[in-house]
């Protein structure tokens, strides 16, 4: 769906991890710190790739708190790579959420949005862990929808349906996120407004028409779903600066 008319926007929601919080960096730093105790090391790229694959598989099963998802994920991924972690030791990863920091521009962008619109976060997280992350996010929120509240994980659309219920419908609602499969795809089906994204070629055409990116852009899809860069999480990844996406002057 195209960006709603700026005068009609009343609500702006955002994903949290990978959009506001640099979770890739947080996960890698926590795992490296723990691995060095065992004299183990790993390549960041393949490690994260497998980490998010396993995490998605676990999320697709019966609902569990995200803290348990993190514990199960690291135990399996580490074991596959020859780093054996006892389940009782895996708590280091949920504990590390306290040290996952926002992207550089996230707080300033949210502050600008909050001056003009009702603001919310819709996230695949526990209430407790999000509360910990919110210590790093200074903007007051008008809406919070978590996986724990709806007992499900995106891309199941129940997060967004619950958000729509609470804000009184889809009209005047804009959602900002970096994940195609978790956020963009289900919202396209729900016809909820999103900022334009900077895509090129066939991937651009497919996204504009509300379709998944073509098979040849599999790596691009993975990058959109998972890749986070500290200086562009809220701008280049979304295809618009927060100001342009939400109607602010530079």
Q: So which residues are the catalytic ones? A: 15
Diameter of the chain measured on Cα atoms: 57
How many CB atoms within 10 Å of residue 133? 22
Q: Is the bond preceding 12 in cis, omega lying within 30 degrees of 0?
A: no
Q: How far apart are CA 33 and CA 244, in angstroms?
A: 39
Q: How many CB atoms sit inside 10 A of residue 95's CB?
A: 14
Write out the two tokens for 28: 């890698």
Q: Is 10 helix (H, G, I), strand (E, B) or coil?
A: coil
Lookup result for tokens 């005047």: 172
DSSP state of 24: H
Cα 235 to Cα 246: distance, rounded to the nearest angstrom = 12
Angle, alpha carbons 92-96-102 (nearest 5°): 165
What are the backbone dihedrals phi and psi of residue 13, each rounded to the nearest 5 degrees, phi first? -115, 160
CA distances 32 to 14, 28, 44, 83, 162, Å, are 29, 6, 9, 11, 37
For residue 73, the tally of other CB atoms under 10 A from its CB is 24
Nearest CA-CA partner of 147 in 68, 229, 237: 68
């Amino acid at each position: 769906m195209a960006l709603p008319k700026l005068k009609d926007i009343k609500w702006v929601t955002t994903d949290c991890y990978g959009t506001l919080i640099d979770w890739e960096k947080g996960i890698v730093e926590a795992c490296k710190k723990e691995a060095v105790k065992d004299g183990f090391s790993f390549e960041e790229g393949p490690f994260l790739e497998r980490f998010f694959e396993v995490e998605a598989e676990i999320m697709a099963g019966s609902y569990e708190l995200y803290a348990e998802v993190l514990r199960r994920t690291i135990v399996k991924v580490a074991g596959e790579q020859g780093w054996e972690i006892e389940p009782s030791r895996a708590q280091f990863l949920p504990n590390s959420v306290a040290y996952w920091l926002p992207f550089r521009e996230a707080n300033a962008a949210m502050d600008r949005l909050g001056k003009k619109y009702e603001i919310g976060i819709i996230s695949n997280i526990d209430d407790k862990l999000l509360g910990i992350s919110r210590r790093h996010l200074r903007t007051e929120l008008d809406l919070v929808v978590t996986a724990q509240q709806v007992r499900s994980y995106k891309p199941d659309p129940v997060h967004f349906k619950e958000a729509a219920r609470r804000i009184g419908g889809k009209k005047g609602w804009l959602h900002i996120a970096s994940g195609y499969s978790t956020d963009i795809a289900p919202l396209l089906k729900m016809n909820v407004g999103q900022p334009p994204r900077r895509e090129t070629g066939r991937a651009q055409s497919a996204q504009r028409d509300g379709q998944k990116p073509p098979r040849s852009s599999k790596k691009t899809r993975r990058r959109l779903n998972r890749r986070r860069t500290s200086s562009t999480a809220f701008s280049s990844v979304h295809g618009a600066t927060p100001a342009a996406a939400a109607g602010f002057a530079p």
